[in-house]
Amino acid sequence: MSGLFITFEGVEGSGKSTQIELLRQHLAERALSVLITREPGGTPTAEAIREVLLDPRNKALAPMAELLLYAAARAQHVEERIRPALDAGQMVLCDRFADSTTAYQGIARGLSLELLGEIHRLATSNLRPHLTFLLDMDPELGLQRTRERGRIDRMEQESIAFHRRVREGFLAIADNEPERVVVLDADQELEVIARDIRRHFDAYLERRAREQALAADTP
Ligand code: T5A
C-alpha cells in the first residue's frame, strides 16, 4: 500500500463534508488527484446499507446489528474502493471511518472496544488512516446545523447525552493517538479551519517525504 489515507471525523454537522471539499479544491490547484468517499457508503452495496442505518423508521435496530451493518459496509468499501485506490498510490479522503465506530458504537453505545477491534481486523485487515482530522465542537451546535437542513436521520435522533459521549469518545481517541489525530476547533469560520487543515496536511506530507528519503538511504 503506497497511497495516503486521510479521514475526517467529528460529531454530527461538524463540517467534515465541507472541509473535505475545501481540501479537494486546494489539492486540485496543486494538480493532485484524490478519491473522495464517505462512510457508511462509498459503493452501491455500502450505500444501500447506509439507507438502512440512517432510516429513522429503523428505531428498533439492535446495537449489535448496527455495529455489524457498519462493519459490513466498511468491509465492502475497503475491498472495492479504498484499498485498490491506495494500492494504486492514490490519495483517499474519507468522511468518517473506524474512529466513528469506536466513538458511536463503542464509547456512546457501550459495546466492547475489544470486540470492535476484532471486527475491524476481520472487516478491513486492520486498515488504519495515516492522518485524521477531528473536527471538534459542542454536539448541540452541530445538531442545530444539521436540523437547519430539514431532515433528521436515525442517529441524529439520539439524545444529546449520547452525542456528548460520542464527542468524548473522539477526544479520547485523539489523546491516545496524537501522532495520527489532529484536533481542530470546528466552531470557527470555514476558511480558518480550512487553513489549519492545509497547514497540518502540508506538514504531514513533508514529514512523510523526509521519512521516505531516510528509509531509502538506509542500507
Ligand atoms: N456512524 C458512522 C456510526 O455510528 N458508526 C460508524 O462507524 C460510522 C462510519 C452518518 C452517521 O452514521 C454514524 C455517524 C452519523 O450519525 P452522515 O449523514 O454521514 O451520517 O452524518 P455526518 O457525517 O455527521 O454528516 P453531516 O453532513 O451531518 O455532517 P458534516 O459532514 O460534518 O457537516 P457538513 O459539512 O455537511 O456541514 C453541516 C452544515 O453546517 C454548515 C454547512 O454549510 C452545512 O449546512 N457548516 C458550517 N456552518 C458554520 N460554520 C462552519 N465552520 C461550518 N461548517 C459547516
How do residues 15-39 score in pLDDT, each as one tens digit? Answer: 999 999 999 999 998 878 799 999 9
Distance, CA of 213 to CA of 10 (rounded, Å): 33
Write out pLDDT tens, residues 149-172: 888 999 999 999 999 999 999 999
Above pLDDT 70, what percent of the chain?
100
Which of 6, 12, 42 minimizes the C-alpha distance to 24? 6
Closest residue CA from atom 26 of ligand 1: 13
In tens, the pLDDT along 52-65 reads: 999 999 999 999 99
Nearest to 95 by CA among 32, 190, 22, 203: 22
**Is the pLDDT at 1 greater than 70, yes or no?**
no
Q: What is the pLDDT of residue 150?
A: 81
Residue closest via CA to ligand 1's atom 15 equals: 155
| Distance of CA 150 from the midpoint of ligand 1 (Å) | 13
CA of 145 to the centre of ligand 1 (A): 9
> Taking 90 as the threshold, does the pLDDT of residue 217 lie above it?
no
Ligand 1: distance of its center to the CA of 168 in Å?
17
Can you list the domains of the chain with their CATH numbers? 4-217 (3.40.50.300)
For the chain, the average pLDDT equals 96
Q: What is the mean pLDDT of residues 73-88?
A: 97
Q: How far is residue 209's CA from residue 139's CA, in Å, rounded to a whole number?
A: 36
Query: How many angstroms separate the alpha carbon of residue 14 from the centre of ligand 1?
Result: 6
CA separation for the pair 172, 72 (Å, rounded): 25
pLDDT tier for residue 2 given thresholds of 50, 70 and 90: confident
Q: How far is the CA of 147 from the centre of ligand 1 (A)?
A: 11
pLDDT tens-digit map of 112-130: 999 999 999 999 999 999 9
Pocket lining for ligand 1, CB < 6 angstroms: 10, 12-18, 39-40, 54, 70, 95-96, 100-101, 104-105, 145-146, 149, 153, 155, 190, 193
Residues facing residue 7 across a β-bridge: 94, 132
Average pLDDT over residues 87-95: 96
C-alpha cell at 159: 439524545
Cross-strand partners of 184: 135
Residue 155 alpha carbon, nearest atom of ligand 1:
16
From 14, 55, 111, 189, give the residue whose CB has the most ligand 1 atoms within 8 Å, as the site to mutate: 14
Cα 42 to averaged position of ligand 1 atoms, centre (Å): 15
Indicate which residue's Cα is closest to atom 22 of ligand 1. Answer: 12
What was the pLDDT predicted at 219? 76
